[in-house]
Chains A and B, each alone.
Chain A
């Protein structure tokens, strides 16, 4: 009987997780050399381009160990970004161990630590692997020291490899079977299996990835999804080889997929427990959470005529992304659209790019917002993620905004830069750790709203790329919030309203007013552009009026041409959005919404 190992590779971004996965697949002979495509696990183009795994894929690798034993190695891939922490935790919950991959030149980074903690929380066996030992800058002794000091792991246990050249990969595989414990195999107990991923297949519906902890499952079984309280008949179960490989039965310890006529991906929740409907386990597996969006933005078609097409596209998109939530929204300036909730900025960016590229939508997205909490004078609490629903300020007793605790790791000389940036972004309670010589770990509480506002880019540029960053939510904190209205010709433009901290309101308002001034063409009347809190104007620019718009000569032979010109201009104007009497070109919205991100 083949033995099983269930494991994941975790790493700071770019430390070589995908490359190593590919190499393992290749070494175990799962793919012939000629079929080998780089980074098979990252199947979506967008992922390939960005170099991050968004949607995880899992694969079972057949492996004959040095001692001649047959193994089935289940490599469970995990999304590699903070937006998807919960998904990562469910994938890890399906493993007995992880390969903690560390770049031989860069060493331990913020996400290395975050992943270490994540793995420790699940009591996983941790195999530290130093990758990229082929690099000239590789410094194995130094990294081993970091592994010992920063991570508290035994440097004796370290495996060194190069996913690029293949050196040491055999040792990595051997470490997987020797060091990572086999799964327990209680096949006689009631079925208890963890859903750690789901994918949408247009022909078969939702394909659920799961790990069986106890019991077994076979085709035709009636399964209950315990959190979801739904029941399905298994149409097919199987293993993830390079292609899905149907099996009559899967047993405790195994990782596989199931197809059960589940229509949409939103019908399945990551972290749910699957059991038999007629012989359920007493308790679902621990750790289930509802995924909650933290970043919100409205999406509108650039041309209002395209709203029906946007409706279709967002529905199709949703088939593949259960984490997206959306509801109808409308704006006076931009027409009908949707308010969307995302797991984070990256998630939002992925949404935007896929809507544009894969679904051919020309869209505008509003400035991302977090969800604020207001306590009202009647004692009620409201959560608001859309400036349009900002409550009556006269009745607000307390406003709060979500905070995160950032964990930033930088070489010592950048501590000043990071602290400047964090203070600018209203950081509080800094704490410093000194995990190794010349390296500082900074913990600091930051408003999430400040983090989604280009914090990561700023961090990267102010630390010459050395700063690494991770965060966890730490709940709401009181904050002096205001709603910033942008008024064009004295009329508020709903799509441009923002909820911001009072201290940043003026800077933001000025930036937006300036940008609108650049983008809105001169009009017949002088047009004031203002930023206002309540009735108070805090920023203003003016679009001056043009004084002349008429051709000097217009005699018999000019009339037809002139009329056609006017008709053409009129058509161009139809594509502009009217705010009061002002024609605001679409580009003005795009420009404001993009730069103030």
Chain B
């Protein structure tokens, strides 16, 4: 089964090869590729190198999304041998109760261990995901203590020597067990104002430790440690995605994505058809909305020209600057911390 899937992947890559120029990032993620068997992972990498070898740049960033529970020095050595040079670990928390609540396979100890092993395993970059905005009921602490505890977790993480941190805010939406619990009142999530405060406090703390806030949820030690791959999403560069549910974008206005059903994915490829997918062709306005929405998430910001829309938004932009949501640097408008946290609202106003 896995073998069939991998050969489908290879097939899809071959079909899509013609639509790419040279590129310099690869991201193996979505779900938990780290639990793939060694030989399966090997086949995937072989397929990538075989199909795209001639368009791969030197210095390609190759990221592997990994579950701390799957990390051993052996797997790490194998990944390194395959060319992986960046690891992103879904740690989420160093609190065992929280990890149980989140249904994770690892505990705080194995998480810490996975981080250290990765850092010492010779990978250029190691990133750790942590969660903010956990249900207050999980701990008996008051809000000050909750914030202090979050900082403590960040401290633990960066002390392992990692150079990148993603802070996500736990949200309940869609048909997830968490959302059901929130809906029926079994669990309550902190109010947005509190999580905003928590994120701001974390950002201040991380800054003091040399991590800059370069995207709503992402912090890096130095510019070169930012996730080059993810940055492409936010700056509107082209990318190709393979596998069920993967999204691709041509960098100008064409986006398409495979439907998530894996059986249909395999079936149509085996028939010689491209997998079932949806697509969209962005209008000029939609493209503009996306540029605003994505650009304002990052410390790159958006160009003043784009934001002002030929003068239509001049006074609004002035007001946003005056109120400390944006600042102006050369011909770019850069969100402040406060601005990043309200990026969607600003984008909506400017779009």
Chain A residues within 8 Å of B, Cβ to Cβ: 524-525, 546-557, 559-560, 562-563, 566-567, 569-570, 573, 581
22 interchain pairs (CB within 8 A)?
A: A524-B325, A547-B342, A548-B196, A550-B297, A550-B342, A550-B343, A551-B344, A553-B168, A555-B230, A556-B249, A557-B30, A557-B246, A559-B249, A559-B255, A559-B290, A560-B247, A560-B255, A562-B293, A563-B290, A566-B344, A567-B289, A581-B316
In the complex, are the beta carbons of A547 and B289 less than 8 A apart? no
B-chain residues with CB within 8 Å of residue A552 when the two chains form the complex = 168-169, 171, 216-217
Give the complex CA separation of A562 and B319 in angstroms.
25
How many inter-chain residue pairs (CB < 8 Å) link A and B? 101
In the complex, are the beta carbons of A570 and B348 less than 8 A apart? yes
Give the complex CA separation of A570 and B169 in angstroms.
24
In the complex, are the beta carbons of B257 and A560 less than 8 A apart? yes
In the complex, are the beta carbons of B340 and A570 less than 8 A apart? no
Encode B153-174 as 1/0 by CB contact (under 8 A) with A. 0000000000000001101000
Chain B residues within 8 Å of A, Cβ to Cβ: 30, 168-169, 171, 192-193, 195-197, 199, 216-217, 230, 233-234, 239, 241, 245-247, 249, 255, 257, 280, 286, 289-290, 293-294, 297, 316, 319-320, 323, 325, 338, 340-349, 351
Give the complex CA separation of A567 and B293 in angstroms.
11
Give the complex CA separation of A566 and B347 in angstroms.
8
In the complex, are the beta carbons of A524 and B245 less than 8 A apart? no
Task: Other than A546-B192, A570-B348, give 10 A-B pairs with Cβ distance below 8 A.
Answer: A546-B345, A556-B241, A556-B247, A557-B257, A559-B233, A560-B255, A560-B257, A563-B289, A566-B347, A570-B351
B-chain residues with CB within 8 Å of residue A556 when the two chains form the complex = 233, 239, 241, 247, 249
Q: When A and B form their complex, which 7 residue pairs have the shortest distance between CB atoms, in order from nearest?
A: A548-B196, A547-B196, A549-B345, A550-B343, A552-B169, A557-B247, A556-B247
In the complex, are the beta carbons of A557 and B245 less than 8 A apart? yes
What is the interface of chain B mostly: helix, strand, loop, or mixed?
A: helix
Contact of A554 among B169, B239, B255, B294 (CB under 8 A): B294
Contact of B342 among A548, A554, A560, A569 (CB under 8 A): A548
In the complex, are the beta carbons of B233 and A550 less than 8 A apart? no
What is the interface of chain A mostly: helix, strand, loop, or mixed?
A: loop
In the complex, are the beta carbons of B290 and A524 less than 8 A apart? no
CB distance from A597 to the nearest CB of B (A): 34
In the complex, are the beta carbons of A554 and B297 less than 8 A apart? yes
* Residue from B171, B290, B319, B348 having most chain A Cβ neighbours under 10 A: B348
Give the complex CA separation of A581 and B325 in angstroms.
15
CB distance from B20 to the nearest CB of A (A): 15
* Residue from B193, B195, B297 having most chain A Cβ neighbours under 10 A: B193
Give the complex CA separation of A569 and B216 in angstroms.
21
A-chain residues with CB within 8 Å of residue B245 when the two chains form the complex = 557
In the complex, are the beta carbons of A566 and B319 less than 8 A apart? no
A-chain residues with CB within 8 Å of residue B255 when the two chains form the complex = 559-560
- Closest B residue to A544 by CB, please name it: B193
CB distance from B297 to the nearest CB of A (A): 6
In the complex, are the beta carbons of B341 and A560 less than 8 A apart? no
In the complex, are the beta carbons of A553 and B192 less than 8 A apart? no
In the complex, are the beta carbons of A550 and B341 less than 8 A apart? yes
